[in-house]
């Protein structure tokens, strides 16, 4: 499976979980057999979704003890305006202090986020979010938005404001879904169509994130070989226009939270990875033996 894809290794922050970003390796457009060893400095990143509870309600914020007690690690000296914008700025300052330069956004509703259903519903919020990222030296190479054709022009416009290099969703549902072979093939066709539009608009390819079902759902492809739905999508999409962000926690361990690969070949075929793609954990941080993997990607 996917033996023709060669990738490079990249390690990310210890607090994050693992993902790959793999370009679609169809007969239509192929990547070279190797991209070399290692990843450039500054390519590690995080997914903003990791901090969703904090951004939503302030959950987990550590206040510094009262003087003269010394401050504790990562504490907030004072608590300014307790709203999403203020928490976002404190989070960006924290990420900058940890040497993080790349942040993947998600469709959090409201200012300063673009929502999946209305990516250009708050243009000023997008501009302010980009400015805040610039202030703390952060780039937004990708965002979990929507792969729905009805909002694709808005996704492209938002991506240009934010400086994204890819446009995508936290699954393949917006492009059609993966319930059976016919639906999966239609999804691949739709991804090619959307990705071609975004690439020609100067943004970059369409991409989709996976959970367990993309690998546990399997049926015979048009060549008669039984494959996961994820493999079928990648086999029928063009590498110029479509990428698949692999969340290793879901791909290998699935929804059970145990180290039983839902698709054992995933770990075997991706021995080296190239750049970064942020992801969220497949199991809670507090779970015994919770899986913690480096954030990685394939281009």
The model carries a pTM of 0.74
Tell me how far apart the alpha carbons of residues 122 and 110 are, in angstroms, rounded to a whole number. Answer: 8
* Beta-strand relationship, 143-144 and 242-247: unpaired
Query: What are the C-alpha distances in Å from 163 to residues 10, 76, 134, 258?
Result: 22, 29, 10, 37
DSSP 249: I
What's the pLDDT score for residue 131?
Answer: 94
Tell me how far apart the alpha carbons of residues 64 and 66 are, in angstroms, rounded to a whole number. Answer: 7
245, 266 contact by CB (below 8 A): no
DSSP 114: P
What's the pLDDT score for residue 273?
Answer: 29
Neighbours of 198 (CB within 10 A): 23
Q: pLDDT 10s per residue in the chain (299 long)?
A: 333 332 222 222 222 334 555 555 444 555 455 545 544 556 667 888 888 888 888 888 888 888 888 888 878 776 667 788 888 888 999 899 888 899 999 876 555 566 666 777 788 888 989 999 999 999 999 998 899 999 999 999 999 999 999 999 988 999 999 999 999 999 999 999 999 999 999 999 999 988 888 888 899 999 999 998 988 998 999 989 998 887 767 766 654 444 444 455 554 443 222 233 333 333 333 332 222 223 333 32
Structural domains for the chain = 19-269 (3.20.20)
Tell me how far apart the alpha carbons of residues 297 and 10 are, in angstroms, rounded to a whole number. Answer: 8
State both tokens at 166: 């890819």
The helix or strand, by DSSP H or E, that contains position 21, with its residue range, turns out to be strand 19-23
What's the pLDDT score for residue 291?
Answer: 28
Name the one residue in this structure whose structure tokens are 């169809």: 26
Tell me how far apart the alpha carbons of residues 142 and 48 are, in angstroms, rounded to a whole number. Answer: 11
**H helix runs in the chain, sequence order:** 52-57, 84-97, 123-135, 152-162, 181-200, 213-216, 229-235, 248, 265-269
CA atoms within 13 A on the CB side of 188: 24
What's the pLDDT score for residue 294?
Answer: 30
């Amino acid at each position: 499976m996917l033996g023709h894809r060669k990738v490079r290794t990249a390690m990310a922050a210890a607090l994050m979980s693992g993902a790959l970003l793999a370009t679609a390796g169809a007969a239509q457009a192929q990547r070279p057999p190797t991209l070399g060893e290692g990843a450039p400095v500054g390519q590690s990143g995080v997914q903003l979704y990791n901090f969703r509870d904090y951004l939503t309600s302030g959950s987990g914020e550590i206040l510094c003890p009262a003087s003269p007690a010394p401050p504790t690690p990562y504490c907030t000296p004072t608590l300014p305006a307790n709203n999403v914008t203020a928490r976002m700025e404190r989070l960006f300052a924290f990420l900058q202090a940890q040497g993080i330069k790349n942040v993947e956004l998600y469709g959090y509703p409201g200012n300063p986020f673009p929502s999946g259903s209305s990516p250009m519903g708050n243009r000023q919020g997008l501009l302010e979010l980009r400015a805040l990222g610039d202030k703390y030296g952060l780039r937004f190479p990708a965002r979990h938005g929507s792969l729905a054709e009805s909002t694709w022009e808005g996704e492209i416009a938002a991506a240009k404001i934010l400086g994204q290099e890819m446009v995508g969703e936290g699954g393949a549902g917006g492009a059609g879904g993966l319930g059976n072979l016919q639906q999966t093939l239609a999804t691949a066709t739709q991804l090619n169509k959307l990705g071609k539009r975004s690439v020609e608009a100067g943004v970059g390819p369409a991409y989709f994130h996976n959970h367990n079902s993309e690998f546990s759902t399997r049926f015979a492809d048009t060549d008669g070989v039984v494959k996961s739905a994820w493999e079928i999508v990648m086999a029928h999409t063009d590498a110029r226009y479509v990428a698949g962000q692999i969340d290793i926690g879901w791909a290998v361990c699935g929804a059970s939270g145990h180290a039983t690969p839902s698709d054992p070949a995933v770990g075997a075929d991706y021995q080296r990875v190239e750049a970064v793609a942020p992801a969220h954990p497949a199991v809670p941080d507090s779970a015994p033996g919770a899986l913690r993997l480096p954030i990685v990607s394939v281009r």
